[in-house]
Amino acid sequence: MHMHDVAQLFTTPLDAPAFAPTRYRFTDREYLNITYRTDPEALRRVVPEPLSVPEPLVRFEIMRMPDVTGLGDYTEAGQVVPVTYGGEPGEYNLAMYLDSVPAISSGRELSAYPKKAGKPRLFVDSDTLVGTLDYGSLRVATATMGYKHHPMDPDEARAEICAPTYMVKVVPGYDGRPRICELVRTQITDLTVKSAFRGPARLELFAHALAPLADLPVLEVVSASHILTDLTLSPAEVVHDYLTAR
C-alpha cells in the first residue's frame, strides 16, 4: 500500500475498516425517554464547565434502531442532562451503552459520542413498553411506560429530540496526556416524527462500578415519551478547547 493511499483512509484496520464511510440515516428509530429529578450535587460532579445545570434533571433514554445505513441493526441506552451553554438550552450527553462495535467505533472516532459496550433492549410486554440495560451479565436499568396512553404533540416531540447536544471528546497522545480535549456541539435538524405518545412511567437504576447510572439517583419521574422517527445525524463542531483554555 502506497503512502498516499494510507493518508486517504478513514479508520483501521486498513483492509477491513471498523465502520462504513457514510452519513448515517436512521429509519424507524424508536425512543423511550424518561426524564427524572436527581440529586443536584451528584449532577454537578459529572457535568463539565463551561456547561451550566439549570435544574437537577436527567433523561434516561433507550433507542431501538432497526435500520441504519452502514451500521445495520442495534440498540442504545444512556443518560443525558439538560444544560445551558452561553445562554442556549441544550443537553449534555453523559454516557451511552450499545450492542454494536461499528456504532461504538464510528460514534467515538467520527464524533464525540461517549459510547461503550452494553446490552440494551426495548420491547413491548403486553400493555407496557419496557426498556432494559445490562452491563455484562448484570442489570443496571429497568424502565417501564404505559404503551401509547396519550398522544404527544409532534412539535413537542421534535423539540425533545432536536435539542442541541454537547459532548466531551478526549483523545490521549502516546505519552498518556490528552492530545484532543474538546467540548463539541451537534444538533439533529433532519427529522420526521412518525408517532409520539406519553404515559405513566417508572425507572429503576442499579449500582455498578463501570456503568454508574445509579450515581444519579431517581428521586422523581417527571415525564416520559415514546417517539418513532426517521432522522439523519449532523456533524459535530468544537465550541470549547480545554487544552487551549488551560
In whole angstroms, what is the distance from residue 167 CA to residue 91 CA?
Answer: 9
Three-state DSSP class for residue 18: coil
Q: Would you name the residues annotated as active-site residues? A: 115
Q: Integer distance in angstroms from the first to the last C-alpha of the chain?
A: 40
Task: Enter the C-alpha cell of residue 1.
Answer: 500500500
Q: Are residues 59 and 33 in contact, defined by beta-carbon separation less than 8 angstroms?
A: yes
- Full DSSP string of 75-104: EEEEEEEEEEETTEEEEEEEEEEES-HHHH
| Distant-in-sequence, close-in-space partners of 136: CB < 8 Å, separation ≥ 6 | none
Distances in Å between the alpha carbon of 47 and those of 22, 80, 114, 173? 31, 10, 13, 24
Helix extents (H) in the chain: 3-8, 40-46, 101-110, 154-161, 242-245
